[in-house]
């Protein structure tokens, strides 16, 4: 039956299909849109049937890919139609065209609600389906209670209840608060006793979401889940209609096992035993059959069971069974199974240490790296990356480098990053590491980010033994006719620093090195030239005894670039020229770069950042978050642990002693004037961790300014915590004098304010000073709240801020008088110019009655 029930619609579709080309189609579509638009405007003449027809036409046109920018109103209005056919169309078209961000949808909330709480079952179903598919936050707030009621109502038929379950799931996802956990956990347990499989399947999906966010509350559901699995495994009393190719509701099995993965352990031994029996049966009993669908279904259950076994961290025997299975899978012909085998093996790595067993399959995995299917290649790459350790690093990295030759561009950047990280982490010796990185740059220069070559330079600088080797290698690469610009950068830098170590060798005299590098100058871009200039300067300096011909050559180059447009180049050229005139002093200035301090590899951080976030925390992700990333330690011990959230808590300002001294000195002077200055006598405890040092360290590797680290931090915290040490402003209250006693512990307040954006700064019987701060990178806006606690006005109010040199502050006018029991706000603009640990001091004075405070 090819023709639809609506003749007008069929005719239209036929017309479209008969169009010879895009132009004709466009014309026909526009004609129809015009027609529909006019008919819609003239509402009176539109029968419900016609409205339906036009709304479907609109959807069809939309599906063809044209913009349909009107008619949403009509679709939504059909929702309020009294009769089923129109209502149905309204609901469905709305759910296809609109999404939760459309304002129109709000208009329908009331009608939808009426349908949900009304008696008409079919209307209820329509409404629940719509809300379940495209409901947003507002729907969540107004409809959740009604939906919940339907779900647990015994007078509702399964048809309605299963929709209610999924509808509630959506609302919960949009606003987790709509499900009141206390009341709901018992209900969920009850729902799991449900006989109807439709309702049970839907409820299980709901359970997965609930448990993912809070497994504590739903412990009672755990045994029920196991019971469900048992029932399905025994295959008794499962209605025929729920058996899929002989497998009892595979989807329900999968969902139940997924739910179980969110409970950390299973306490009750008998439950645990039953579960393991079921799992064992699945693991052993899943055969490969001819029927594709049966195969897929049974294997979907198998893979989920594998995931569950991994999660439960079962006995070694079961685990090795799993790995054996996976080992079999990655070698089968069927690509889906191979893909899943690789994927699950990668997951296994995270969870237990089955690395040795997995390594046995290394050869097969490497073969998969060359599979014609890109999805499989990706999985193989991830797995190799995960299973790499000191013993197989060399092989794996070499394979990956080979693969780089043929990999498609979308994968190269990731591949380069991974190769660099593996080489770094597991290098048997450093010269191999340098080799690998240089090879990497050679093969895939475009995809090698700056972090990578910065890192290799860092290593070479920190390891004296490595320097001659690196220099030699760099020179070798320069011999090649066409090399990538990054290679030029690296080689030039290294040779600049260390070519003097090679001076004795053939072909490595300063002059030769210089001409090798200089040959490449015409081929590089403006960003590389500054590096080359520095290199020349260093070569010049290192040439002992001085070679005047070389000197002249190099000086000529500097002179040439003295008037270059690019500021960096010009600056370097000019400065080097001047420096070269200084003679001996040149040695000190152009001495070798000092060693770099140890920090967490920015590469590893980068790799971690590229993992995407999802709405529901997968059980798998929750596990991996517990792993800490290892900071690289090839030379020195890493001093930083460097996970951003930690740095927040550790941030406490240490007022510099000089500052305090200065304040005390001030105080001595101002006391006769009776100005109240408040000094914090002891520095706050808890020295900041080394992370602070890292953040403040102006290292080349850092690349972008410390401020750039801000966004990552802010995303991580989600609370208004003072972003960085360098940015957190603390107005140090300085306390002295016996006249007016402040209330509360100033030092405590001060500490609190360093960590929070708002709070009370200072309080005494007459006045309370509070602060509220808002920060954007290095720019801040504070508001000082001056509150008069008494019934008499405070006059002659004066507030002065003494900013330290690294801050620029602007305080708006402070009023002379603060009326009784009133609060006055004074905004304060702050710009942080540089990192520093100094504090600003607020000098505050006022007159109370006759007393000057």
Partner 1 sequence: QIHFVLLISRQGKVRLTKWYSPYTQKERTKVIRELSGMILTRGPKLCNFVEWRGYKVVYKRYASLYFCMCIDQEDNELEVLEIIHHFVEILDRYFGSVCELDLIFNFHKAYYILDELVIAGELQESSKKTVARLIAAQDSLVEAAKEEASSLSNIIAQATK
The pair of structure tokens assigned to 660 is: 């305090």
Binding to partner 1 in span 435-454, by CB under 8 A: none
Residue among 39, 113, 173, 623 that touches partner 1 (CB under 8 A): 173
Residue among 258, 473, 475, 489 that touches partner 1 (CB under 8 A): 258
Residue among 224, 299, 425, 538 that touches partner 1 (CB under 8 A): 299
Binding to partner 1 in span 368-397, by CB under 8 A: 372-376, 378
Beta carbons of 287 and 238 less than 8 angstroms apart? no
Q: Is 668 annotated as a binding residue?
A: no
The distance between the two most distant Cα atoms of the chain, rounded to a whole number of Å, is 102
Q: Is 55 annotated as a binding residue?
A: yes
Residue among 33, 140, 166, 422 that touches partner 1 (CB under 8 A): 166
CB neighbour burial string for 661-679, b if at least 16 within 10 angstroms, e if fewer: eebeebbeebeeeebbbbb
Q: Where are the beta strands (DSSP E) in 750-793?
A: 758-763, 767-776, 779-788
**Residue closer to partner 1, measured from CB, 132 or 835:** 132
Select the span of 56-64, 139-147, 216-224, 729-737 touching partner 1 (CB under 8 A).
56-64
Q: Is 661 helix (H, G, I), strand (E, B) or coil?
A: helix
Beta carbons of 84 and 70 less than 8 angstroms apart? no
Tell me how far apart the alpha carbons of residues 572 and 594 are, in angstroms, rounded to a whole number.
20
**Site track 800-839 with partner 1 (rule: CB under 8 A), x = hit:** ----------------------------------------
**Residue closer to partner 1, measured from CB, 549 or 611:** 611
**Residue closer to partner 1, measured from CB, 10 or 523:** 10
Cα dihedral 423/427/430/436 (nearest 10): -30
Closest approach of Cβ 304 to partner 1, in Å? 6
Tell me how far apart the alpha carbons of residues 702 and 704 are, in angstroms, rounded to a whole number.
6
**Site track 597-626 with partner 1 (rule: CB under 8 A), x = hit:** ---------------x-xxx-xxxx-----
Residue among 129, 286, 688, 790 that touches partner 1 (CB under 8 A): 129
**Site track 560-599 with partner 1 (rule: CB under 8 A), x = hit:** ----------------------------------------
Beta carbons of 511 and 547 less than 8 angstroms apart? yes
- Residue 763: strand pairing partners: 768
Q: Is 8 annotated as a binding residue?
A: yes
**Residue closer to partner 1, measured from CB, 159 or 826:** 159
Beta carbons of 323 and 357 less than 8 angstroms apart? yes
Residue 369 makes CB contacts below 8 A (sequence gap 6+) with 377, 380, 381, 384, 399, 400, 403
**Residue closer to partner 1, measured from CB, 377 or 599:** 377
**Residue closer to partner 1, measured from CB, 299 or 418:** 299
**Residue closer to partner 1, measured from CB, 111 or 202:** 202
Which candidate, 439, 527, 518, 428, places its Cα nearest to that of 485?
527
Tell me how far apart the alpha carbons of residues 90 and 75 are, in angstroms, rounded to a whole number.
5
Residue among 80, 280, 286, 336 that touches partner 1 (CB under 8 A): 336
Residue among 139, 197, 403, 514 that touches partner 1 (CB under 8 A): 197
Closest approach of Cβ 280 to partner 1, in Å? 20
The pair of structure tokens assigned to 782 is: 């504070």
Q: Is 57 annotated as a binding residue?
A: yes
Closest approach of Cβ 205 to partner 1, in Å? 4
Closest approach of Cβ 781 to partner 1, in Å? 33
Q: Is 801 helix (H, G, I), strand (E, B) or coil?
A: strand
Full DSSP string of 44-82: GG--HHHHHHHHHHHHHHHHHT----S-HHHHHHHTT-S
104 lies in the binding site for partner 1 (CB under 8 A): no
Beta carbons of 307 and 623 less than 8 angstroms apart? no
Tell me how far apart the alpha carbons of residues 838 and 807 are, in angstroms, rounded to a whole number.
9
**Residue closer to partner 1, measured from CB, 367 or 673:** 367
Residue 419 makes CB contacts below 8 A (sequence gap 6+) with 397, 400, 401, 404, 436, 440
Select the span of 283-291, 294-302, 478-486, 528-536 touching partner 1 (CB under 8 A).
294-302
Beta carbons of 639 and 632 less than 8 angstroms apart? no
**Residue closer to partner 1, measured from CB, 620 or 756:** 620
Which candidate, 595, 675, 628, 683, places its Cα nearest to that of 852?
675
Beta carbons of 75 and 94 less than 8 angstroms apart? yes
Closest approach of Cβ 31 to partner 1, in Å? 20
CB neighbour burial string for 44-79, b if at least 16 within 10 angstroms, e if fewer: eebeeeebbbbbbbbbbbbeeeeebeebbebbbbbb
**Residue closer to partner 1, measured from CB, 337 or 786:** 337
**Residue closer to partner 1, measured from CB, 352 or 717:** 352
Sign, CA torsion 30/36/39/43: negative
Residue among 75, 211, 254, 494 that touches partner 1 (CB under 8 A): 254
Tell me how far apart the alpha carbons of residues 774 and 714 are, in angstroms, rounded to a whole number.
12
**Residue closer to partner 1, measured from CB, 272 or 412:** 412
The pair of structure tokens assigned to 715 is: 């995303």
Residue among 18, 24, 110, 122 that touches partner 1 (CB under 8 A): 122
Closest approach of Cβ 408 to partner 1, in Å? 12
Closest approach of Cβ 4 to partner 1, in Å? 5
Judged by CB under 8 A, how many residues of this single chain contact partner 1? 84
Residue among 39, 50, 133, 720 that touches partner 1 (CB under 8 A): 133
Select the span of 234-242, 438-446, 579-587, 714-722 touching partner 1 (CB under 8 A).
234-242
Select the span of 242-250, 412-420, 530-538, 557-565 touching partner 1 (CB under 8 A).
242-250
Residue among 34, 118, 145, 335 that touches partner 1 (CB under 8 A): 335
CB neighbour burial string for 109-128, b if at least 16 within 10 angstroms, e if fewer: bebbbebbeeeeeebbbbbb
250 lies in the binding site for partner 1 (CB under 8 A): yes
How far CA 274 is from CA of 223, 249, 279, 526, in Å, comes to 10, 19, 9, 69
Binding to partner 1 in span 2-41, by CB under 8 A: 2-5, 9-10, 13, 17
Tell me how far apart the alpha carbons of residues 591 and 522 are, in angstroms, rounded to a whole number.
27
Closest approach of Cβ 549 to partner 1, in Å? 58
Closest approach of Cβ 49 to partner 1, in Å? 7
Which candidate, 769, 825, 821, places its Cα nearest to that of 792?
821
Do strands 779-788 and 731-732 pair parallel, antiparallel, or not at all (unpaired)?
unpaired
**Residue closer to partner 1, measured from CB, 63 or 665:** 63
Which residue is listed with tokens 């990706």? Answer: 378
Closest approach of Cβ 56 to partner 1, in Å? 6
Residue among 49, 180, 367, 526 that touches partner 1 (CB under 8 A): 49
Closest approach of Cβ 339 to partner 1, in Å? 5
**Site track 72-91 with partner 1 (rule: CB under 8 A), x = hit:** -----------xxx--xx--
The pair of structure tokens assigned to 349 is: 């790595």
Q: Is 762 annotated as a binding residue?
A: no
Beta carbons of 349 and 365 less than 8 angstroms apart? no
- Residue 390: strand pairing partners: none
Q: Is 433 annotated as a binding residue?
A: no
Beta carbons of 74 and 59 less than 8 angstroms apart? no
**Residue closer to partner 1, measured from CB, 418 or 489:** 418
Binding to partner 1 in span 139-158, by CB under 8 A: none
201 lies in the binding site for partner 1 (CB under 8 A): yes
Residue among 32, 115, 304, 757 that touches partner 1 (CB under 8 A): 304
The helix (H) or strand (E) run that includes residue 547 is: none
Residue list for the binding site: 7-8, 49, 53-57
């Amino acid at each position: 039956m090819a023709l639809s029930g609506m003749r007008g619609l069929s005719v239209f579709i036929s017309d479209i299909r008969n169009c010879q080309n895009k132009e004709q189609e466009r014309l026909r579509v526009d004609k129809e849109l015009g027609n529909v638009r006019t008919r819609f405007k003239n509402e009176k003449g539109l029968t419900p049937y016609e409205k339906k027809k036009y709304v479907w036409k609109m959807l069809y046109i939309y599906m063809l890919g044209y913009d349909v920018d009107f008619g949403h109103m009509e679709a939504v209005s059909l929702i309020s139609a009294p009769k089923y056919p129109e209502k149905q169309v309204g609901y469905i078209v709305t759910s296809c065209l609109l999404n939760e961000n459309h304002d129109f949808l709000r208009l329908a909330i009331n009608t939808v609600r009426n349908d949900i709480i009304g008696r008409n079952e079919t209307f209820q179903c329509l409404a629940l389906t719509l809300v379940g598919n495209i409901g947003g936050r507002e729907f969540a707030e107004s409809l959740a209670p009604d939906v919940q009621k339907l779900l647990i109502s015994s007078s509702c038929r399964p048809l309605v209840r299963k929709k209610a379950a999924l509808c509630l799931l959506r609302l919960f996802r949009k606003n987790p608060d709509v499900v009141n956990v206390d009341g709901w956990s018992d209900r969920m347990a009850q729902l799991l006793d449900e006989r109807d499989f439709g309702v049970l399947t839907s409820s299980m999906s709901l359970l997965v979401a609930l448990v993912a966010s809070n497994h504590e509350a739903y412990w009672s559901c755990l045994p029920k889940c196991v019971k469900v699995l048992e029932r399905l495994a025994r295959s008794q009393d499962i209605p025929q209609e729920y058996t899929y190719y002989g497998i009892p509701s595979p989807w329900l099995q999968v969902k139940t096992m997924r739910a179980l993965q969110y409970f950390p352990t299973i306490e009750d031994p008998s439950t645990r035993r039953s579960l393991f029996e079921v799992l064992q049966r699945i693991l052993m009993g899943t055969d490969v059959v001819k029927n594709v669908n049966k195969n897929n279904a049974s294997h979907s259950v198998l893979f989920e069971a594998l995931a569950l076994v991994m999660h439960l961290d079962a006995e070694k025997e079961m685990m090795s069974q799993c790995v054996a299975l996976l080992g079999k899978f990655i070698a089968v012909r069927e690509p889906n199974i191979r893909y899943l085998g690789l994927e699950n093996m990668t997951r296994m790595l995270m969870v237990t240490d089955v690395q040795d067993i997995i390594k046995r399959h290394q050869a097969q995995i490497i073969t998969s790296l060359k599979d014609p299917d890109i999805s499989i290649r990706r999985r193989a790459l991830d797995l190799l990356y995960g299973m790499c350790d000191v013993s197989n690093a060399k092989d794996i990295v070499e394979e990956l480098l080979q693969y780089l030759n043929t990999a498609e561009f979308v994968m190269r950047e990731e591949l380069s990053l991974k190769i660099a990280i593996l080489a770094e982490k597991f290098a048997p010796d450093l010269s191999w590491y340098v080799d690998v990185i240089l090879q990497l740059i050679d093969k895939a220069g475009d995809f090698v980010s700056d972090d990578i070559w910065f890192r290799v330079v860092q290593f070479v600088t920190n390891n004296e033994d490595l320097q001659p080797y690196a220099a030699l290698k760099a020179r070798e690469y320069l011999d090649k006719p066409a090399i990538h610009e990054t290679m030029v950068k690296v080689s030039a830098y290294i040779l600049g620093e260390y070519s003097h170590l090679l001076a004795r060798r053939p072909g490595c005299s300063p002059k030769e090195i210089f001409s090798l590098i200089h040959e490449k100058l015409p081929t590089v871009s403006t960003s590389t030239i500054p590096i080359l200039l520095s290199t020349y300067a260093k070569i010049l300096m290192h040439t002992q005894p001085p070679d005047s011909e070389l000197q002249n050559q190099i000086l000529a180059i500097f002179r040439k670039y003295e008037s270059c447009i690019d500021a960096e180049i010009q600056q370097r050229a000019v400065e080097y020229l001047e420096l070269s005139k200084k003679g001996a002093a040149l040695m000190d200035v152009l001495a070798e770069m000092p060693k770099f301090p140890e920090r967490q590899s920015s590469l590893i951080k980068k790799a971690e950042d590229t993992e995407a976030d999802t709405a529901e925390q997968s059980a798998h992700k929750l596990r991996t978050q517990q792993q800490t990333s290892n900071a690289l330690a090839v030379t020195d011990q890493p001093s930083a642990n460097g996970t951003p959230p930690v740095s927040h808590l550790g941030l406490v300002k240490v007022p510099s002693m000089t500052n305090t001294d200065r304040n005390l000195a001030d105080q001595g002077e101002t006391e006769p004037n009776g100005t109240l200055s408040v000094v914090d006598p002891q520095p706050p405890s808890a020295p900041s961790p080394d992370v602070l040092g890292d953040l403040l360290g102006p290292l080349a590797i850092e690349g972008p300014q410390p401020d750039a680290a801000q966004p990552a931090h802010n995303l991580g915290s989600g609370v208004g915590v003072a972003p960085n040490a360098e940015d957190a402003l603390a107005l140090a209250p300085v306390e002295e004098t016996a006249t007016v006693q402040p209330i509360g512990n100033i030092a405590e307040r001060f500490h609190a304010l360093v960590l929070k954006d708002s709070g009370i700064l200072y309080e005494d019987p007459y006045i309370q000073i509070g602060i509220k701060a808002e920060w954007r990178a290095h720019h801040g806006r504070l508001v000082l709240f001056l509150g008069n606690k008494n019934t008499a006005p405070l006059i002659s109010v004066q507030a002065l801020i003494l900013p330290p040199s690294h801050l620029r502050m602007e305080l708006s006018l402070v009023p002379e008088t603060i009326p009784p029991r009133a609060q006055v706000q004074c905004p304060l603009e702050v710009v942080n110019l540089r990192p520093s640990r100094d504090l600003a001091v607020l000098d505050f004075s006022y007159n109370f009655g006759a007393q000057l405070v």
